A and B are shown apart, each in its own frame.
Chain A
Amino acid sequence: MIAEAISHALRVNALLTAFAFVGLVMWLSAALSKYLTMGRVHGSAIAIMIGLALAFWGGIVTGGKSGLSDIPMLSGIGLMGGAMLRDFAIVATAFEVDVEKAKKAGLIGAVALVLGTILPFIVGALAAAAYGYTDAVSMTTIGAGAVTYIVGPVTGAAIGADSAVIALSIATGVFKAVLVMIGTPFVAGMIGLNNPRTAMVFGGLMGTVSGVSAGLAATDRRLVPYGALTATFHTGFGCLVAPSIFYLIVRLIVGN
């Protein structure tokens, strides 16, 4: 009887259940980040990986295509992570962008930002094609995922990509962010990462603020604000060009 009451309450309050559930995942990830990786790997990256793993589990258990939200009690996850709230929250992050600060990054920051969007996109799109995703929509979505794990799904949803392809684009972006977090201290000497200007170039090129800030923090904490300064613009710029200019170019090259 108690079990029935609980499951009923969770089902009729699906969105609240999702908030509580995701909250638990975030809390667990923060703890894992702190104690298991000593803060090396950012909690947000761990949380997204757990999210993907849960989607895998949900898919196996239910045989459905929408991951965890196919489980009736967790259907609210579908609303919380759906296109509407996702776009809403992503747009909100632009409010922290200060036009005056953008000018500080200057020309070299802008060059790094543009290059940091084009380069991953090309690499990602080529990798997609190599693995049989030769249509323009899939190539664009996975290429966008290589830019950041946000640009991927935003682009995929905008141009109508398959959910499996969107999952691949998120996974590519998260994997990239984790590599940046862990790898940066090891290559810092080689790439000359010991001054503010290189940190700004680094932020623009690598993208993902979580990857950049964690990677720089492990290298030299004083460089974090400089890297974050350019990395902040990465997702916005990617969301602007990937589902528009980049998609049209890919379509021109490979057809539909």
Chain B
Amino acid sequence: MTISGVALLAICTLFGAVLGDLLGMMLGVKANVGGVGLAMIFLIAGRHWLVRRKLLNEGIKLGIGFWAAFYIPIVVAMAANQNVVAAVESGPMVAIAAIATVLACFAAVALISRMSGRTETMDEIEAREGTLTPKVAQQDGLGSVVR
């Protein structure tokens, strides 16, 4: 049933919210401490449990999948609700923060990939497996999860 999926999602989200609030109270901060992250962990655990019991059916997948697919439109609506006028007044901070972040992360990728030694490139792997060109189109993961 589709509602089972929606209900499971709602239960996980509510549990996360309650736990996040409780954590906030315990730590003495007026905040929901990590509620969304905790809810995600519950949902992953729930899925794992359902798969192991072979209870994961199409209805459950549909109920949760719909909301997962709805995520970018909701984020767009959220963006359209913010006080952007006040944000714009704060100047070029956004650009500076973003550019500095991206440069730092690119540098870290270069550093890690050098430190971890040489590895086979994509071209070498395909040459070894003899699967050059025909499979390329199939391996495009763009269509699956785009967020």
Q: Given A93-B71, A167-B87, A191-B110, are A44 and B101 also a contact pair (CB < 8 Å)?
A: no
Cβ of B114 and Cβ of A192 under 8 Å apart? yes
CB-CB nearest in chain B for A240: B37
Q: Considering residues B20, B35, B70, B97, which has the most beta carbons from chain A within 10 angstroms of its beta carbon? A: B97
- The contact of B101 among A90, A119, A209, A237, by CB within 8 Å, is A119
- The contact of B74 among A68, A89, A124, A132, by CB within 8 Å, is A89
Interface residue ranges of A165-194 to B (CB < 8 Å): 165-168, 170-176, 179-180, 183, 187, 190-194
Q: How would residues 132 to 160 of chain A score, 1 for a CB under 8 Å from any chain B CB and 0 otherwise?
A: 11000000001001100110011001111
A159 CB, min distance to chain B CBs, angstroms = 4
By the criterion of a CB under 8 Å from any partner CB, how many residues of chain A are at the interface?
A: 128
Using a CB–CB distance below 8 Å, which chain B residues touch chain A? 9-10, 12-13, 16-17, 20, 23, 27, 29-41, 43-44, 47-48, 61, 64-65, 67-68, 70-88, 90-91, 93-102, 104-106, 108-110, 112-114, 116, 119-123, 125-126, 136, 139-142, 144-147
For B33, list chain A residues within 8 Å (CB): 158, 243-244, 247
Cβ of A96 and Cβ of B37 under 8 Å apart? no
Cβ of B81 and Cβ of A91 under 8 Å apart? no
Q: Given A127-B93, A239-B36, are A96 and B100 also a contact pair (CB < 8 Å)?
A: no
Q: Considering residues A42, A86, A243, which has the most beta carbons from chain B within 10 angstroms of its beta carbon? A: A243
Cβ of B93 and Cβ of A128 under 8 Å apart? yes
